[in-house]
Amino acid sequence: MNVTVHTAENHVTVPEDVDLTLDGSKVAVTGAKGKVSRDFAHAKLNLDYRDRVLRVWAENPRKKQASLVNTITSHVKNMIAGVTQGFTYRLKVVFIHFPMNIQVGADRVSINNFVGERRARYAAILPGVKVTIEGDDIVVTGNDVEFVGQTAANIQEATKIRNKDLRKFLDGIYVYKKE
């Protein structure tokens, strides 16, 4: 009786200036810009790290497991890019009616006088993310793409216009560049 084993498999080559450690299903990547770690236990895939190559595979996969193989390798590639180059999101502060006052705290961004509102609006800054103000731009940087993207989304969402004509009130903070 012939038994064939089908596999879904993908590889990630780790550069020389990056250290990758694999502990079960937890992957930790360390580079010049810091350290990023993530646990992939939910995926129920096989991971193996030898000779600077991370191998991700599933034996006899169902459709969901086969697609998770590529997803996990993309996550690891983003982790490697984060610790070598970092990620930057640039947001533009746009106001027509009322000038906004933006202040960056330790764990949140405070937006005052948005469309003439008396109360301040706040956006959370996730751990490991740095937010700076350069003129009319807000620069969000970090080494974890998910935390950088979520922080930028928090800032953009904090200035969402409600109960006003969106054609007339274009005020807000908008992501315009991802690096």
Model-level pTM greater than 0.85?
yes
CATH architecture of the domain covering 87-178: Alpha-Beta Complex (3.90)
Helix (H) and strand (E) counts in the chain:
2, 13
One-letter amino acid identity for 116? G
E-strand stretches of 24-143? 26-31, 34-39, 46-50, 53-59, 87-94, 101-104, 108-112, 121-124, 129-134, 137-142
pLDDT at residue number 1: 57
pLDDT, tens digit, 9 for 90 and up, residues 21-38: 999 889 999 999 999 999
pLDDT at residue number 4: 61
Average pLDDT estimate for 144-159: 95
The reply to whether 7-84 and 87-178 are identical in fold is yes
Was domain 7-84 assigned CATH 3.90.930.12?
A: yes
What are the residue boundaries of the structural domains of the chain, listed by start? 7-84, 87-178
Percentage of the chain lying above the pLDDT 90 cut: 68
Closest to 138 measured CA to CA, from 155, 123, 162, 115: 155
pLDDT at residue number 121: 93
What is the distance between the alpha carbons of residues 51 and 30, in angstroms, rounded to a whole number? 17
Token output for 110: 């405070």
- Residue 5 confidence class, pLDDT cut points 50, 70, 90: low
pLDDT over threshold 60, residue 106: yes
- The CA distances from residue 170 to 119, 174, 175, in Å, are 19, 10, 14
pLDDT over threshold 70, residue 2: no
